[in-house]
Amino acid sequence: MQLTRRYLAPNEPDHELIWLSVSLGSLGLAAVWFALGLPWPRCVFHDLTGFPCLTCGATRSAIQFLHGHFIAALRWNPLASAVLCALSVFNAYAVAVLIMQSPRLRIAHFTSAEKIFVRTLVATFLAINWIYLLAHWRKFS
């Protein structure tokens, strides 16, 4: 795997603009949703089994994160909290490169072994997070 820094090629997707737009659009949609007093999302898995799913607590974690209560966000869902931290860093990077029209970071030469490693790492993080959520399932009731 090689991390490169280069300008966008003609007709290359602008991932920074796309994902920053998705991120800010999702935040805006969620803000409108809760401002209108619409019902909270329900977890079908939790409703059927009484146990938390892989993402239980992610909405509450996001709300705590956006209010600046980072420890509370971490307690609700550690993986969601980590993803929100990474998303915040990416959004800051995206805004910076879009404003300054600078070269973009891209991953090149991603071998199949590295792809397998990343998939295994993601599955491991999901499993560890679910074990944490199952160990603390009473707070989701």
Mean pLDDT on 41-67: 89
Helix, strand or coil, per DSSP, at residue 6: strand
Question: What pLDDT does 40 receive?
Answer: 83
Please enumerate, as own/partner, the contacts of 67-76 that have beta carbons within 8 Å and a separation of 24 or more: 75/136, 76/139
Whether the pLDDT of residue 22 is over 70: the answer is yes
Question: What pLDDT does 117 receive?
Answer: 96
Map tokens 């090149």 to a residue. 108
Q: What span, in angstroms and rounded, lies between the C-alpha atoms of 55 and 73?
A: 13
Q: What span, in angstroms and rounded, lies between the C-alpha atoms of 39 and 127?
A: 29
Question: What pLDDT does 141 receive?
Answer: 58
Question: What pLDDT does 28 receive?
Answer: 95
Q: What span, in angstroms and rounded, lies between the C-alpha atoms of 41 and 115?
A: 33
5, 105 Cβ separation under 8 angstroms: yes
Helix, strand or coil, per DSSP, at residue 39: coil
Question: What pLDDT does 37 receive?
Answer: 92
Map tokens 């072994």 to a residue. 113
Could you read off the pLDDT of 98-131 as tens digits, one per residue?
999 999 999 888 899 999 999 999 999 999 999 9
